[in-house]
């Protein structure tokens, strides 16, 4: 039951009134009987009980929910993330050229065109090569006619010699002529094949599906065998080349997983795998490292774009995955080392602080290694530790805003 101060003042006035009435002559007989003092004590006791009950029934204000920062526990290999600048380039890139020389009759592509495998890129004037091919075909036909004649003569003299109607000298002569005709026919066939190849080489085709990244020659120009005509790059896979200093390259190996971000493509993260690590170049303190991007490349990713490669580097001697937390989250007392975990409650976005004893490992620039006491997924409170106690209600903050998740 609650009583206000006004109510207590009213009770005091009633008591004063009764005391005044008892002190009059009309109450003299009560004083003589000793009843006055008893009544007086009873009123004082009643007033004290009312006052105490009123103060005890005042509600205690509820403690405010404290906002805290946190770190979600995750296992890693004691890693530190190092970032390096890199440049995107197609995994397959080549400067295409003709295998024979001649005058460029046609360039069938333009800069930036997407070309499928086998599609025509450029063509030479094939007049001379076609003439040579026709000559080779004519020579083959002549050789085949001579081969037929030599075969007939050999068969005829072979039968005559078997019947003792021809000399051994004539038989061996026709046999030699037949074998020579066979060799000439075979040579003629090979010459036709070579001439056909020379004629085919006057057409330059795409070796794989890709894009034309540069055109290095023009129509009607003379070009030689092996002289680049177009630069051609694959559109299927990209890679990033970066330079790594000498004090880091020893901690990088093939097969390591990395992430790549490009400034021109904000919000997109490209996973990748290190495929090549250079052994070094004379006069340079940096080592080339190639990262192959995984998955289907973005249509907005082009060769030459600069990006940042984030490489998780393991600490020397650390092989197994461990838990690393910030040093600010760890407290110490006479009972040992401990952290506070944020344990979810029934209230939305409301957590309770729970003390959790931990066993610490080595302290590195990344933080404390936790050997025992924490599991993956635990939410560790990292700031405001000195205001916490077991069971206190907290609210998680994320980038300065309350996290209700």
Query: For the chain, which domains are there?
Result: 5-56 (no CATH), 67-77+321-403 (2.40.420.20), 81-90+234-314 (2.40.30.170), 99-122+207-232 (2.40.50.100), 127-200 (1.10.287.470)
Provide the 8-state DSSP code for 126: -
Contact between residue 232 and residue 211 where contact means Cβ atoms under 8 Å apart: yes
Question: What is the C-alpha to C-alpha distance for residues 172 and 157, in angstroms, rounded to an integer?
Answer: 9
Amino acid 39: pLDDT: 63
In the chain, what is the straight-line distance between the N-terminal and C-terminal CA atoms, in Å? 42
Amino acid 330: pLDDT: 87
Which residue, 379, 381, 374, 273, is CA-closest to 322?
374
Q: How far is CA 165 from CA 151, 158, 160, 176, 234, in A?
A: 19, 10, 5, 19, 72
Question: What is the C-alpha to C-alpha distance for residues 109 and 214, in angstroms, rounded to an integer?
Answer: 10
Question: What is the C-alpha to C-alpha distance for residues 111 and 212, in angstroms, rounded to an integer?
Answer: 5
Helices 35-56 and 5-22: crossing angle in degrees, nearest 10, is 180
* The Cα angle at residue 129 between residues 197 and 94, in degrees rounded to 5: 55
Spell out the per-residue pLDDT of the chain, length 405, in tens.
Answer: 444 444 445 555 555 544 554 454 444 544 554 565 666 666 667 667 665 555 544 455 566 778 888 888 776 545 667 889 999 988 888 899 999 999 999 999 999 898 999 999 999 999 999 999 999 999 999 999 999 999 999 999 888 888 888 888 888 999 999 999 999 999 999 999 999 999 999 999 999 888 898 999 999 999 999 999 999 888 777 899 999 888 888 888 889 889 998 888 887 888 999 999 988 766 677 889 999 998 776 777 888 889 999 888 765 545 455 677 888 888 888 888 898 998 888 777 788 888 888 888 877 666 777 888 888 778 888 887 778 888 888 888 764 333 444
3-class SS of residue 320: coil
Amino acid 403: pLDDT: 45
Question: What is the C-alpha to C-alpha distance for residues 102 and 225, in angstroms, rounded to an integer?
Answer: 8
Question: What is the C-alpha to C-alpha distance for residues 392 and 381, in angstroms, rounded to an integer?
Answer: 12
Q: How far is CA 168 from CA 147, 148, 163, 181, in A?
A: 21, 22, 12, 20
């Amino acid at each position: 039951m609650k009583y206000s101060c006004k109510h207590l003042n009213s009770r005091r006035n009633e008591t004063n009134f009764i005391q005044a009435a008892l002190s009059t002559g009309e109450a003299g007989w009560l004083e003589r009987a000793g009843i006055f003092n008893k009544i007086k004590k009873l009123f004082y006791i009643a007033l004290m009980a009312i006052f105490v009950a009123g103060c005890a029934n005042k509600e205690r204000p509820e403690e405010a929910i404290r906002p805290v920062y946190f770190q979600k526990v995750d296992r890693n290999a004691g890693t530190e993330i190092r970032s390096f600048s890199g440049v995107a380039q197609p995994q397959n890139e080549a400067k295409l050229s003709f295998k024979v020389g001649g005058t460029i009759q046609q360039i069938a592509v333009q800069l930036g065109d997407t070309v499928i495998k086998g599609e025509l890129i450029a063509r030479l004037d094939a007049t001379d090569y076609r003439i040579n091919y026709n000559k080779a075909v004519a020579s083959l036909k002549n050789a085949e006619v001579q081969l037929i004649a030599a075969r007939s003569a050999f068969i005829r003299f072979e039968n005559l010699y078997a019947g003792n109607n021809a000399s051994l000298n004539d038989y061996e002569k026709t046999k030699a002529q037949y074998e020579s005709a066979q060799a000439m026919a075979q040579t003629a066939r090979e010459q036709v094949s070579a001439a056909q190849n020379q004629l085919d080489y006057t057409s330059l085709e795409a070796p794989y599906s890709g894009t034309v990244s540069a055109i290095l020659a023009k129509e009607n120009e003379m070009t030689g065998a092996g002289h680049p005509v177009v630069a051609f790059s694959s559109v299927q896979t990209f890679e990033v080349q970066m330079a790594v200093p000498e004090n880091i390259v020893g901690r990088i190996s093939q097969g390591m997983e990395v992430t790549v971000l490009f400034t021109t493509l904000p919000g997109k993260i490209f996973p990748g795998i290190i495929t090549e690590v250079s052994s070094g170049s004379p006069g340079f303190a940096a080592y080339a490292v190639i990262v192959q991007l995984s998955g289907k490349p973005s249509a907005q990713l082009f060769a030459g774009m600069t990006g940042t490669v984030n490489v998780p580097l393991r600490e020397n001697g650390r092989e197994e995955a461990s838990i690393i937390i910030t040093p600010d989250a760890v407290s110490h007392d006479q009972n040992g080392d401990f952290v506070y975990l944020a344990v979810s409650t029934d209230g939305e976005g409301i957590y309770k602080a729970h003390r959790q004893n931990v066993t610490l490992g080595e302290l590195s620039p990344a933080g404390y290694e936790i050997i025992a006491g924490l599991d993956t997924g635990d939410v560790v409170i990292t700031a405001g530790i000195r205001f916490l106690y077991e069971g206190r209600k907290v609210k998680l903050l994320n980038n300065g805003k309350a996290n209700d998740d």
